[in-house]
């Protein structure tokens, strides 16, 4: 189900546990590419070291509202809403940076948060 398809060729779909390998790839490539100008190699390696914690990813899917951005059947970004209104994660695949994907995720998460307000 495409929740918001405001950008050409992108779908925003709620994540499933079967998406975890793709989320990890987005996380790792995004950090490797986007963070290299702002963090030391050691800091990036420490951050990347958290990616292989399977329990962490399962807990993310179970406890948060997680959206994926899919282009040509590939997850190119994701974000999560913790509780009703706390944006916890937004990551974009390293090969898809600066294409508006993070903004698309942010807008969808904000829309979701507003819909959950009392």
- Alpha carbon 101 to its chain centroid, in Å, reads 10
> Which tens digit of pLDDT belongs to each residue from 34-87?
888 788 888 888 888 888 888 999 999 999 999 999 998 999 999 999 998 899
> Which tens digit of pLDDT belongs to each residue from 91-101?
999 999 988 99
The token duo for 16 is 């499933």
> What is the pLDDT at residue 78?
97
> What is the pLDDT at residue 36?
80
Give the rounded percent of residues in the chain with a pLDDT score beyond 90. Answer: 58
Containing 91, the helix (H) or strand (E) segment is strand 86-92
Cα atoms in the 13 Å half-sphere on the side-chain side of 87? 17
> What is the pLDDT at residue 20?
96
Name 11's bridge partners: 70
Q: Give helix then strand counts, H and E, for the chain.
A: 4, 4
Which DSSP state fits 4? -
The token duo for 87 is 């944006």
């Amino acid at each position: 189900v495409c929740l918001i398809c405001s950008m050409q060729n992108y779908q925003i779909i709620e994540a499933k546990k079967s998406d975890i390998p793709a989320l990890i790839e987005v996380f790792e490539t995004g950090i490797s590419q986007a963070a290299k100008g702002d963090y030391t190699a050691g800091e990036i390696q420490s951050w990347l070291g958290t990616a292989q914690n399977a329990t962490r990813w399962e807990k993310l899917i179970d406890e948060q509202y997680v959206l994926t951005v899919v282009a040509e059947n590939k997850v190119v970004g994701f974000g999560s809403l913790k509780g009703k209104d706390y944006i916890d994660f937004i990551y974009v695949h390293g090969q898809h940076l600066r294409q508006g994907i993070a903004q698309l995720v942010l807008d969808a998460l904000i829309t979701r948060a507003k819909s959950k307000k009392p």
